[in-house]
Structure 1
Amino acid sequence: MSSILHRGWLAALAALALGALTTLTFAPFELWWLGPLICAPLYGLLQGTRLRRGMLIGWSYGVGLFGAGASWVYVSIHDYGYTSMPLAAVLTLLFALGLALFYLISAAFYRLLSPRPSVIEPLIFAAAWTLGEVFRGWFLTGFPWLYLGSAHVESLLAGFAPIGGVYLISFLVALSGALLWHLAVRRRVFALVPLAAIWLAGSVLPTQWLSPDPRPIPVALVQGDLPQLTKWSPEGQRTAVNTYLRLTREQAGEAELVIWPETALPMFEEQAMPFYQLAQANMRPGSSLITGVLTRSNGLFHNSMIALDQHMEGGMTRSEYQKHRLVPFGEYVPLEGLLRGLLAFFDMPTSHMSPGPAGQQPLRADGLRLGAAICYEIVYPDLVRDQARHSNILVTISNDTWFGRSIGPLQHMQMAQMRALENNRYLLRATSNGLTAVVGPDGRILAQIARFEPGVLNFEAHAVEGLTPFTRTGSLPIVLVSIALVAVGALLSRRRGASR
């Protein structure tokens, strides 16, 4: 069987299938236990291959992963980007083919640096995989979607998240797959010891390192469920104002924190401010309204989150967070001079944004420090960690209407859960049409509103002080360990080559 799979196109086809199957480890399927079982044959396919074939195997895996797991991009391009079905399909395919290059690079890295045969070969595989994910989350603003570890919010490995974050879990899943291969195919009994140690340790590690403040904080998350295609029209603006004012007045009046989603009112802040004041007139005295809104300063447009904090004695304090990591094509257009106007998809209403500065402070509201993340930003582990270091509650707002009834918003929710788990913070997530939810410090969803329904989620959250190991150090330790491992691999490979 092994010799058959190492025949070029058959190996590539097998890797393609393994990539597609990886989608099942994530929400909404959540078959997290498939992760090591998929990594095992992928690791086997890379054994003894030449560099070019290894690169083909890695790229084919990536095509399968993003072709299946990120197929929701088609909905955004076709349904909301006014692009024809054939062209939307082609663009979606190109998207998957391009992202798959990251796995080509990881496979090449592994083949070049792995000393064969060697007991540290599984470690080099896991390190190359992890560094590939890190690079993908950084290069050209990054695409940190479908990280292998993101599937393990509620798995036996969840206890590693507050220690080393999602990259550490990805490392352990990839390592487990390589060890499984050695155990099942090579009959290397030594692999059983580290394999058992990983999963036994994960099962006993605590998911919560910190204790929440006992004082309950009544919060209300408002979900308007407004149609995206008409949202920016004059009629859509009136509907948005009426919907959010009504839901807030009728169902959110007793909350200390009332949270509206990303661009809840499709207008600039100066246009929306009278409506915010109307909403606050029907809210509890001394409460705060947090909302997504478009702001402008110095001629630049920003996708922002603002907190309007009422004072008991009258008056209001305003704080603002400007989105730092923008979505390519959705909020800015790469190579704008060439692409702007070429397709309607490249000229959507919100595709003229400018990024906010790095290192922004948390929002202040109701005496709380709110770590902010707008939409796509919640999938960046170290960006959220930077906010969590100075905050006691995490707030993320999103407009996942762009992705319809696809699996994209469900994957997005799962990654938000991982951020709560890594930092042991309550996470309040308000979205336009779902999933709107409250996530506990252990990463589990405590309450949510059904998708595609207007409503208000009332719940009691708690502030959390202190730092988890991950919140203190971020992803740096596992990145350094991975670099050290590939450096050792490179050194051993060079010595082995010199001795021949």
Structure 2
Amino acid sequence: MQSRGQRLLRRALLVLAGGLQTLAFAPFFVWPAAILSFLVLIPLCLHRDPKALFGDGWLVGFGLFGAGASWVYVSIHEYANTPAPLAVLMTLVFVAGLALVPAIAFWCWGKLGGDHERRRLWLFPAVWVLTDWVRGWLLTGFPWLYVGTAQTDGPLAGWLPLLGVHGATLLTVGTSVLLLLAGTEGWRQRPKTALAALGLALLPWLAGPLLNTIEWTHPDGDPLSVAAVQGNISQHNKWDPEQMRAQIRTYRELSEPLWDRDLILWPETAVPATQGQAAPTLDAIETRALETDTAFITGIPWYGNTPHYPGSVFHNSLITLGQAQGTYHKQRLVPFGEYVPFESLLRGTIELLNLPMSVFRPGPENQSPLRLAGVAVHPFICYEITYADFVARNSQGTGFLLTVSNDAWFGRSIGPFQHQQIARTRALETSRPLLRGTNNGITAIVDGKGKVVKKAAHYKRDVLTGSLQPVTGQTPFMLAGSWPVVTLAAIMIVFGRQRRPGNNAPQTTAS
């Protein structure tokens, strides 16, 4: 029986173990922290019953999301004008709700593994990966803080074009389990088993750098000269009608020296007015772009009739001008930021639920790619870049990745750095260069290995210029998505789970 002090220490360690994973991601880049996290939390939970594991999983999740998604407070307090005490409470509710996902997962882990230590070790990586996968789509999904993302800057980077982010997560968690197994077997009692476990743990880390030398795509056509304009517009002024002309003037002045470029990119909702309201400005840009043979693309709130909705609706969109064709309506919207779930019941209760432009509707699936300077591109707006399979599926037949965002919502938190790292992971999974345009950072050009080639100054008005080489070809992950890893995890659970006593009874035959 543990004392009260021991129980409190144990709970604190579980919260810290979850929070420790935050160090694996940007802007810290300490990817071994993820392995250390599992080396701490697994032994603490290995012999607990399912009911106790529910609480353990919640504590781990509370630490993970409390530290890793702390930027939520900035959005709620600073930009939704929510009083600090209420913003803290809402952030805690958000974190506590997310922590229920690992809580349920840990309970299932205990049920599936029974009292057998090795069975539980075998099952843990599979349960963790399936939990991440479910979290990525449940209730629109929160595909953030996957430990596989940290490997964009780690030795397992070469596995990402093959297995995707969930595959890198499976290898990371599996490494921790094998290291624990090697330790529990003991070098004196079962040295061969311990050595085998250690060898298996090291194998993917040794293979990763070799796999990273493979070129899954090859250049297609001439490089494009590109420019991304970063206006650094304050989120407090973003939707102020009196500030609209000044904001557009800022972007036009910054863009004036760039008309010799093949592509000019403005970020998400850079034009803070609908296409109808901003028609004179857009017409002037169209004329300039046609005169200079430039492809121009900007984020804008689009308003009008579509076949998918009765009446006129708002979309968070990208429109093209000049040597470009197509319009894209964002498909994956952010709850409470771009739309309000249960709108008829909630809107008007607190100011957070009345944010400007929180009335967007999702765009249709299977939208045609944009044509930018003769290259097919499927864009991704803000949060969409976090969905690995969504990006892989829609990048088929495209020359490069393009994403825009307005990360001013994150303030000066770790959020923008995490968001950029996630975008770099998509570049690595698809082996495609990436052009990322944001309002205040991190605007960047990223190569097909997920490395930043060039970036604009953060939190400043700036212009990023450079070249980008379109490519052709596909990675294994683009062809198969996450299904091979998810299926493997499911198979590990099916064959590794504890059977019911009745299923283990010896078979007899009538004599």
Matched residues, percent identical?
Answer: 41
Q: Following TM superposition, by how much is the alpha carbon of 1:186 offset from its aligned partner in structure 2, in angstroms?
A: 4.2
Using the alignment, how far apart are the partners of 2:377 and 2:208 within structure 1?
Answer: 30
Q: Following TM superposition, by how much is the alpha carbon of 1:230 offset from its aligned partner in structure 2, in angstroms?
A: 1.3
- Cα distance per residue 1:294-352 (max 9 Å; x no partner): 11232111001122243xxxxxx641111111001000111222221111110001110
- Aligned partner of 1:314 in structure 2 is none
Q: Which amino acid aligns with 1:145?
A: W
1:27-46 superposed matches below 5 A: 27-46=26-45
Using the alignment, how far apart are the partners of 2:68 and 2:287 within structure 1?
Answer: 44
Q: CA RMSD in A?
A: 2.1
User: Is 1:264 paired with 2:270?
Assistant: yes
- Aligned partner of 1:225 in structure 2 is 232
Question: Which of 278, 288, 306 is equivalent to 2:319?
Answer: 306
- Cα distance per residue 1:237-261 (max 9 Å; x no partner): 01111111101102x1211111100
- Cα distance per residue 1:461-493 (max 9 Å; x no partner): 011101000011111110111111111123x43
- Aligned partner of 2:509 in structure 1 is none
Q: Contact (CA 8 Å) 2:175, 2:202: kept in 1 or not? A: no
- Aligned partner of 2:59 in structure 1 is 60
What secondary structure sits across from 1:483 in the alignment?
helix
Using the alignment, how far apart are the partners of 1:31 and 1:472 within structure 2?
Answer: 31
Question: Which of 321, 334, 347 is equivalent to 2:341?
Answer: 334
Q: Following TM superposition, by how much is the alpha carbon of 1:107 offset from its aligned partner in structure 2, in angstroms?
A: 1.0
- Aligned partner of 1:191 in structure 2 is 197
Structure 1's 435 and 24: CA in aligned 2 closer, same or farther, altered over 3 A? Answer: same
Question: Which of 410, 417, 424 is equivalent to 1:410?
Answer: 417
1:279-290 superposed matches below 5 A: 279-283=285-289, 285-290=292-297
What secondary structure sits across from 1:279 in the alignment?
helix
Using the alignment, how far apart are the partners of 1:232 and 1:118 within structure 2?
Answer: 57
Structure 1's 175 and 496: CA in aligned 2 closer, same or farther, altered over 3 A? Answer: farther
Using the alignment, how far apart are the partners of 1:4 and 1:18 within structure 2?
Answer: 21
Q: Following TM superposition, by how much is the alpha carbon of 1:6 offset from its aligned partner in structure 2, in angstroms?
A: 12
Q: Contact (CA 8 Å) 1:41, 1:181: kept in 2 or not? A: no
User: Is 1:162 paired with 2:168?
Assistant: no
Q: Contact (CA 8 Å) 1:249, 1:282: kept in 2 or not? A: no
User: Is 1:254 paired with 2:260?
Assistant: yes
Q: Contact (CA 8 Å) 1:361, 1:390: kept in 2 or not? A: no
Is the deviation greater in 62-71 or in 356-365? Answer: 356-365
1:281-430 superposed matches below 5 A: 281-283=287-289, 285-298=292-305, 299-310=312-323, 318-430=325-437
Q: Which amino acid aligns with 2:375?
A: L
Q: Which amino acid aligns with 2:335?
A: P
Q: Following TM superposition, by how much is the alpha carbon of 1:224 offset from its aligned partner in structure 2, in angstroms?
A: 0.4
- Aligned partner of 2:491 in structure 1 is 484
Q: Which amino acid aligns with 2:481?
A: G
What secondary structure sits across from 1:146 in the alignment?
coil
Q: How many residues align?
A: 491
Q: Following TM superposition, by how much is the alpha carbon of 1:56 offset from its aligned partner in structure 2, in angstroms?
A: 1.0
1:120-159 superposed matches below 5 A: 121-159=120-158
What secondary structure sits across from 1:222 in the alignment?
strand
Structure 1's 456 and 146: CA in aligned 2 closer, same or farther, altered over 3 A? Answer: same
User: Is 1:205 paired with 2:207?
Assistant: no
1:234-249 superposed matches below 5 A: 234-249=241-256
Q: Contact (CA 8 Å) 2:50, 2:111: kept in 1 or not? A: yes
Q: Contact (CA 8 Å) 1:333, 1:346: kept in 2 or not? A: yes
What secondary structure sits across from 1:446 in the alignment?
strand
Q: Which amino acid aligns with 1:348?
A: L
Structure 1's 76 and 367: CA in aligned 2 closer, same or farther, altered over 3 A? Answer: same
Using the alignment, how far apart are the partners of 2:76 and 2:56 within structure 1?
Answer: 28
TM-score by length of 1: 0.94
Q: Following TM superposition, by how much is the alpha carbon of 1:115 offset from its aligned partner in structure 2, in angstroms?
A: 5.5
Using the alignment, how far apart are the partners of 1:152 and 1:386 within structure 2?
Answer: 21
Question: Which of 271, 276, 292 is equivalent to 2:282?
Answer: 276
Using the alignment, how far apart are the partners of 2:219 and 2:115 within structure 1?
Answer: 49
Q: Contact (CA 8 Å) 1:5, 1:14: kept in 2 or not? A: no
Q: Following TM superposition, by how much is the alpha carbon of 1:281 offset from its aligned partner in structure 2, in angstroms?
A: 4.2
Structure 1's 124 and 6: CA in aligned 2 closer, same or farther, altered over 3 A? Answer: farther
Q: Following TM superposition, by how much is the alpha carbon of 1:54 offset from its aligned partner in structure 2, in angstroms?
A: 1.1
User: Is 1:85 paired with 2:84?
Assistant: yes
Q: Following TM superposition, by how much is the alpha carbon of 1:272 offset from its aligned partner in structure 2, in angstroms?
A: 2.2
Q: Contact (CA 8 Å) 1:423, 1:441: kept in 2 or not? A: yes
- Cα distance per residue 1:232-286 (max 9 Å; x no partner): 1233201111111101102x12111111000001000122232233234444622
Structure 1's 6 and 357: CA in aligned 2 closer, same or farther, altered over 3 A? Answer: farther
Q: Following TM superposition, by how much is the alpha carbon of 1:413 offset from its aligned partner in structure 2, in angstroms?
A: 0.3
Using the alignment, how far apart are the partners of 2:122 and 2:338 within structure 1?
Answer: 39
Structure 1's 481 and 466: CA in aligned 2 closer, same or farther, altered over 3 A? Answer: same
Q: Following TM superposition, by how much is the alpha carbon of 1:393 offset from its aligned partner in structure 2, in angstroms?
A: 1.0
What secondary structure sits across from 1:83 in the alignment?
coil
What secondary structure sits across from 2:271 in the alignment?
coil
Q: Following TM superposition, by how much is the alpha carbon of 1:496 offset from its aligned partner in structure 2, in angstroms?
A: 8.9
Q: Contact (CA 8 Å) 1:6, 1:45: kept in 2 or not? A: no
User: Which runs of 5 or more residues in structure 1 are unaligned?
Assistant: 311-316
Q: Following TM superposition, by how much is the alpha carbon of 1:182 offset from its aligned partner in structure 2, in angstroms?
A: 1.8
